[in-house]
Chains A and B, each alone.
Chain A
Amino acid sequence: DAGITQSPRYKITETGRQVTLMCHQTWSHSYMFWYRQDLGHGLRLIYYSAAADITDKGEVPDGYVVSRSKTENFPLTLESATRSQTSVYFCASRIHGQGASDTQYFGPGTRLTVL
């Protein structure tokens, strides 16, 4: 089914381990985003990408790495996980342009717990 998917949906890891969260969209949207959701903070932008091989930092990028070799995939890597990175992570995408294309579409989220 078309849309935006994230995997895994749930992940438990230990401090210091590397973790990669996957995001895949089938719409060929130019823009993709990673947010984290924490109580009392709403959603905060980690990284975004305007196209394949073009990425940029958001509000809270420290401790994260992204890549985008293909338009449809935008993986997020925690190089050395810390407890403060326990959160729910959402991927989103949108097309390039104004007006009706303003909408960002969100994936179902990945709940990450770092022990």
Chain B
Amino acid sequence: GDSVTQMEGPVTLSEEAFLTINCTYTATGYPSLFWYVQYPGEGLQLLLKATKADDKGSNKGFEATYRKETTSFHLEKGSVQVSDSAVYFCALSPPPFRGSNYKLTFGKGTLLTVNP
């Protein structure tokens, strides 16, 4: 079945440091890939997404590129801020023609803490 593996946390960085959170997936065909962010005490918000190979999703300074050859969708940001402290989830949704009913499969989440 489909699965998502993301790097274990927690990750602690200083402000303005470079961030990478690794995410790899197992799925048949070309799933859609997502990064969701959960700020303390809140629900999940879509951070960025990519729906086909070599697409780059970007938002709020975060980027991730859909790499079919390595089945990866790593999240990066060049300079993190204290306000980026949150839990980040990588997720995939299979192609609709597989009858997936758009179910999301999530990684376990990575807690990021950014210190001033």
Indicate, yes or no, whether A interacts with B: yes
Inter-chain contact B101/A48, CB cutoff 8 Å = yes
Q: How many residues of A contact B (CB 8 A)?
A: 27
Within B61-116, the residues touching A (CB, 8 Å) are 89, 93, 96, 101-104, 106-109
Across the interface, name the chain A residue whose C-beta is closest to B42. A108
Inter-chain contact B96/A98, CB cutoff 8 Å = yes
**Interface range for B:** 20 to 34
Binding site for A on B (CB under 8 A): 32, 34, 36, 42-46, 49, 51, 89, 93, 96, 101-104, 106-109
- Chain A residues whose CB sits within 8 angstroms of the CB of B32 once the complex forms: 102
Binding site for B on A (CB under 8 A): 31, 33, 35, 40-45, 48, 50, 56, 58, 90, 92, 94, 97-99, 102-109
Report the separation of the CA atoms of residues A73 and B94 in the bound assembly, to the nearest whole angstrom.
25
